[in-house]
Structure 1
Amino acid sequence: MTPRIGFTGDVMLGRLVDDRQRRRAVDAVWGDVLDRLRALDGLVINLECVLSTRGQQWRRTHRPFHFRADPDWAVPALERAGVDVCALANNHVLDYEEAALRDTIDHLDEAGIAHAGAGETIDEALDPAAVSIADLDVAVVSFTDNTPEYAADEESPGTAWIDVTVDDGKTRRRVREALDRSRESDTDLLVASLHWGPNMVTEPPDTFGEFGRWLVEEGVDLIHGHSAHVFQGIEVHEGAPIVYDAGDFVDDYAVDAELRNDRGFLFELAVTEAGTPTELRLHPTEIEGCAVHEASSEAAAWSREVMRDRSAEFGTTFDRDGEALVLPLEG
């Protein structure tokens, strides 16, 4: 059997999602996508909230939104979906300051869900998430260029923060350190999960392309981008897919009628038993009622057309299989 690993955009379980989940089944947040998630061999998400009931809202700098979810339901929900790795390098892991970040890490550890991108110090934040998926050794490193005030340092908790736009060597040295750590365990598949760029932007800047291609040349097998709240195009470089932005997977956000941030995909990567990517399959999804669902035919058609258009500038073309787009990565 070909190992298949799923990747999602932002999973935000706070605010109205948290409120609704207190009155419905633990796995209701996954809607009718749950069976598809559970059928995967592995699942990697960007967790866009903290898992805690403690802490106070960050007020040291202006932050308009603060996201946290009650771990009593949120952790079992992640377990029901089969989440293996949570990327934590994003602009919400300190929304309720250090206590809630520590709770999040503790709850994930207790559940056996690996995480990367945030920690008690920058040293911990740089540690890759190492998991075994279908007999593959998979490593995920996680970075963000959002919210520099949330950055960890040698003495303070926070994120693995980088500046992608400045080529002064510091960013690449920091990233290379995390990549080197991942190789210490003889990794079969190496993923870089990047929370980068501004919201509601449909195209990545040139600097992201340069950085993404550099990561591939450094040995990364897939770039798992997120942050924009809308999906962006996909580039393939040396056989590795660069998903510049996976969009949103589940949240309670207001929907832009033109950009349709409620529409997106579950990205399913097929790999060989040696860990070589062979195919990326995009299953259309949409958010409704603070839950993720299989996209309607109309929404799926819209997402396929938009993904084709946004990927065309990279020379990327897709096949079609039912409602899904298929991107072959071999030959």
Structure 2
Amino acid sequence: MAGRQAKSSAISSTISAPNTAPSFPPPRGARRRGAAPIFDEIVTGFRVAPGGMQQVWGIKTDPALSERKSYLGWCDPAPTLAALKDAGIDAVTLANNHMLDCGTAGLTETQTMLHGAGIASFGAGEDETAAARPFIHRFAMNGAERTLVVFGGFERRARYDHEYNWYAGPRIAGIGKLDADRIAAQIASLRDTLPNPTFVVFPHWGVDYAGVTQKQRDMAAALAAAGADLIIGHGAHIVQDAEMIDGCAVLYNIGNFVWNTPGRFSSRAVPPYGLAVALEFTSASEAGATLRLYPIVTDNSVTEFRNRPVTSGEFEHAQDHLEFGPSGLFSPGRDAAGFHLELVVPSERDDSAAHIPHDLAAAPEEPQTAELRES
């Protein structure tokens, strides 16, 4: 990229803090090291870093949920906040299935502490309008203005809607529901007002440790039709399929980033990898962006709760077992951040492009009725 200024934005998946659930006491090493070292091996020098914050920053769970919802979580806010700041996290989505584990008071406390530390949050709020508001980052490169727009959202699940009262509504605080029609209207409006925008949807969806559901595929098609340039899913704890839908790159699930419970990689016989995702922009607005996927080892039984980039041998293993390689959508490479797979995201969507499926996951597809739970 000689003669061009480049700017990288890292987008990571699920982040949770130590001491998060009574069913999974923190490992001795994590207790001894504290929160900050959990990022040591996987944080790089990206200049804007949105992530998925999975754990509410409260110390007492909602008693109304205690006998109805499994895997309630909480954490110690102070060291968690310090670790996020030290890691350079600039923004987090709060749209997931744990952010109301401490009730709306816990959500408010989490947002207040994040914003006080200069970390933006999106995907949840005081009402449905606030919860639907995207993260917007405007920047200039050699005089060329660019905008990164990231939408958070949690797929609709009947139990969360009717039994847990999870989603934000008119004058009701809660989590933003993933809504393709709303996002389409927002994209249409923002496209007319923001300079050279790139629209990313960052949904929390899917079945734990399983393949892509038809519900995910249908929503991805709707989001692509809504004008999304890139869809980066999270929530299933593993890497799922990827494909192009009418010029929109879709990563159905990028797995865990930092997740402080043992996990079920061995029992579910799935590859122990997640992906850190980087978008690199150049000053030439017509050049689009370069998407890089950095495989990381996320099985805590292997890493002792300190996830890390893959080695050369593990990179080859990941390509063999996750079935992404030079013959598909992505081309392999290596840079200062580690081994990666690369795809150029065009600056202009080709709405006439054919679907180009590309399987990233070894796990078989499971029916939508499969149990949804976190561990």
**Normalised TM-score (structure 1):** 0.84
1:144–1:194 CA contact under 8 A, matched in 2: yes
For the 8 Å contact 1:118–1:152, the answer to whether it is kept is yes
Structure 1 residue 289 displacement after superposition: 2.3
Out of 254, 263, 274, the position equivalent to 2:273 is 263
Question: Aligned to 1:41, which of 38, 41, 47?
Answer: 47
- State the match for 2:310 in structure 1: 295
Alpha-carbon separation, structure 1, partners of 2:60 and 2:189: 32
Q: Which of 156, 160, 166 pairs up with 2:176?
A: 160
Residue of structure 2 equivalent to 1:167: none
**Letter paired with 1:290:** F
Aligned-pair CA distance for 1:129 = 1.6
Mark the CA change 1:28 to 1:134 in structure 2 (over 3 Å): closer, same or farther: farther
Q: Distance in 2 between matches of 1:46 and 1:241?
A: 19
Post-superposition Cα deviations, 1:216-249, rounded to whole Å, max 9, x if no partner, equal 3333221111111111121123443211111111
Q: Is the 8 A contact 1:127 1:181 kept in 2?
A: no
Match of residue 176, structure 1, among 184, 204, 229:
184
Which stretches in structure 2 are left out of the alignment for 5+ residues?
Answer: 348-375
Number of aligned residues: 316
- Tell whether 2:132 aligns with 1:126: yes
User: Would the aligned equivalents of 2:92 and 2:122 in 1 still touch at CA under 8 Å?
Assistant: yes
Structure 1 segment 1-331 matched on structure 2, within 5 A: 1-14=5-18, 15=20, 16=25, 23-24=32-33, 26-34=35-43, 36=44, 39-59=45-65, 62-132=68-138, 136-145=146-155, 146=157, 147-148=160-161, 149=164, 150-162=166-178, 171-180=179-188, 182-183=190-191, 186=194, 188-202=197-211, 204-251=212-259, 252-257=261-266, 258-260=268-270, 262-273=272-283, 274=285, 277-287=288-298, 288-308=303-323, 316-322=328-334, 323-330=339-346
CA offsets 1:141-171 (integer angstroms, 9 cap, x no match): 1111143231111132211124xxxxxxxx4
**Aligned mates of 1:152, 1:176 — CA distance in 2:** 19
SS state of the match for residue 83, structure 1?
coil
Distance 1:116 1:217 in 2: 22
Cα 1:61–1:220 shift into 2, 3 Å: farther
- 1:140 maps to a residue whose letter is V
SS at match of 1:174: helix
Q: Does the C-alpha gap of structure 1 residues 292 and 113 become closer, same or farther in structure 2, counting only changes over 3 Å?
A: same
Q: Measure, in 1, the Cα distance between the counterparts of 2:277 and 2:112.
A: 28
3-state secondary structure, aligned to 1:142: strand
> Take 1:92 and 1:72, find their aligned partners in 2: how far apart are those partners?
19
Assess if the C-alpha contact under 8 Å between 2:41 and 2:309 holds in 1. Answer: yes
Shift of 1:85: 1.9
Which structure 1 segments of 5+ residues have no match?
A: 163-170
TM-score, normalising length from structure 2?
Answer: 0.75
Bigger mean CA deviation after superposition, 63-72 or 320-329: 320-329
Alpha-carbon distance change, 58 to 185 in structure 1, aligned in 2, over 3 angstroms: farther
| SS state at 1:137 partner | strand
Q: For 2:291 and 2:233, locate their aligned partners in 1 and report how far apart those are by CA, in whole Å.
A: 14
Alpha-carbon displacement from aligned partner over 1:184-205 (angstroms, at most 9, x marks no partner): 7515222111111221112x23
> Helix, strand or coil: the match of 1:291?
coil
Following TM superposition, by how much is the alpha carbon of 1:207 offset from its aligned partner in structure 2, in angstroms? 4.1
CA contact (8 A) 1:21 1:73 kept: no
| 1:196–1:227 contact (8 Å) kept in structure 2 | yes
- The structure-2 alpha-carbon separation of the partners of 1:143 and 1:275, relative to structure 1 and needing over 3 Å to count, comes to farther
Q: Taking structure 1 as reference, are residues 180 and 328 closer, same or farther at Cα in structure 2, changes over 3 Å only?
A: closer
Larger Rg: 2
The residue number in structure 1 matching 2:363 is none
Q: SS at the partner of 2:41?
A: helix
Residue aligning to 1:166: none
Contact preservation (8 Å) 1:304, 1:325: no
| TM-aligned CA deviation for residue 61 of structure 1 | 6.6
Instruction: For 2:233 and 2:318, locate their aligned partners in 1 and report how far apart those are by CA, in whole Å.
Output: 17
2:10, 2:48 within 8 Å by CA — same for their partners in 1? yes
**Measured at CA, do residues 249 and 22 of structure 1 come closer, stay the same or move farther in structure 2, by a change above 3 Å?**
same
* Cα distance in structure 2, aligned partners of 1:54 and 1:183: 42
Counterparts in 2 of 1:3 and 1:213: CA distance versus 1, 3 Å: farther
Provide the aligned C-alpha RMSD in A. Answer: 2.9
Q: Shift in Å at residue 21 of structure 1?
A: 5.2
Identity of aligned residues (%): 22
Mean Cα deviation higher: 50-59 or 235-244: 50-59
